[in-house]
Amino acid sequence: MNISLKGKNALVGGSSGGIGKAIAQQLAESGASVTLMSRSEDKLKKIVEELPHDQGQEHRYLVVDFSDFHGYRQTIYRYFEDHGVDILVNNTQGPAAGSALEKHTQDYQEAFDLLFKTVSYTTELALGHMQRKRWGRIINVASVSVKEPLSYLALSNTIRAAVVTWAKSLANDVGPYGITVNSILTGYFDTERIAQLNAKKAEQLGISEDRVRADMEAKVPLRRIGDPKEYGYLATFLASDQAAYITGTQIPIDGGLLKSL
């Protein structure tokens, strides 16, 4: 199966590293013109230079801070004044780890702004172009924790679950326009985020980070942590014409980690 996204414009959040970068790279390899978003301009510049341009793509980047919704809203609004997006990948950094007993109302409000408001607002701006073209792909980077909550990620568990149910509702409304909306439930992937979480867990438990990682791998039926490239393959398929009949789903990519159906 040959996936071609030539002539498509993609906007990918959190794409200066990890999963977001891997998605951006694979979309570009399939022919899409990609706009990267993150806080690190130096990293974004380097990635734009590295992305393939052999199919006539024009790649660019936006410097944004997802944790500052007011500032993010101004930047992304200006972007959509001049650009249309065919493929939107909603992805931000995760909120701070911690249990439900450690978090307070303000923490949940900040996580809501970070994980939900940025997603819903960006999608709102993107939909006009998609509806006019009667084609669009909205892909939300979520987590397996919306099905099986992780005790140390109370904020992520809560708000990402809201994103997934919102996405299911949205899929019903935009389906007649040829727009699909899907959420990817992320398992353990070899990223800076997972390294940070492992470091905190190692400190709390008084064990080495290598031990934390080994225990994590042992929980996965495939006995390994995922490669971000594998995530990029799934996202690119969902962005393609070949996935035109897939919408309103929540697809785990976790090496079999989830125990529930």
How many whole angstroms separate alpha carbon 151 and alpha carbon 240? 35
Contact at 8 Å (CB) between 21 and 15?
A: yes
Work out the mean pLDDT of the chain and round it to a whole number: 96
For the beta carbon of residue 41, count every other beta carbon within 10 angstroms.
12
Supply the pLDDT for residue 97. 87
Mean pLDDT of 4-26: 97
Structure tokens at 97: 């780890």
Q: How large is the C-alpha radius of gyration of the chain? A: 18
Give CA torsion, residues 59, 78, 66, 6, to 10 deg. Answer: -30
CA distances from 246 to 26, 169, 180, 229 (A): 19, 14, 7, 21
Tell if the pTM clears 0.85, that is, is over it.
yes
Contact at 8 Å (CB) between 145 and 90?
A: no
**CATH class for the domain made up of 9-188+228-253:** alpha beta
Q: Is the pLDDT of residue 1 over 90?
A: no
Supply the pLDDT for residue 194. 85
* Ranges of each domain in the chain: 9-188+228-253, 191-225
- Kindly report, residue by residue over 128-183, the tens digit of the pLDDT: 999 999 999 999 999 999 999 988 899 999 999 999 999 999 999 999 999 999 99
